[in-house]
């Protein structure tokens, strides 16, 4: 059985004033603190990308020795963490 955690009205009010960036930073810090630096669970997505952009991106990733999907995830993570 998990314990129930209660929050004061002051704490909840403070949470309501958080920006989306502050919330993301909190969630990321909480995840790292609990030993999960990156979730191993992935979700398949589908998105349209202009063919010329994808082609150049794949070539650049290949020249750097990185699979292009790995590079996409690395760029996404970098964007979220800044």
Every domain of the chain and the residues it spans? 7-37, 46-82
The predicted model scores a pTM of 0.51
If you count them, how many residues does the chain have?
A: 82
Which tens digits make up the pLDDT trace of 65-74?
889 998 998 8
Written as six digits, the tokens of 64 are 């750097």
Angle at 14 between CA 8 and CA 20, to 5 degrees: 135
pLDDT band at 51; cut points 50, 70, 90:
very high
């Amino acid at each position: 059985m998990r314990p129930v955690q209660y929050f004061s009205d002051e704490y909840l009010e403070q949470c309501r004033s958080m920006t989306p960036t502050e919330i993301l930073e909190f969630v990321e810090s909480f995840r790292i603190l609990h030993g999960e630096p990156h979730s191993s669970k992935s979700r398949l997505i589908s998105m349209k990308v202009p063919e010329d952009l994808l082609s150049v991106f794949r070539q650049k990733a290949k020249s750097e020795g990185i699979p292009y999907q790995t590079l996409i995830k690395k760029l996404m993570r970098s964007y979220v963490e800044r």
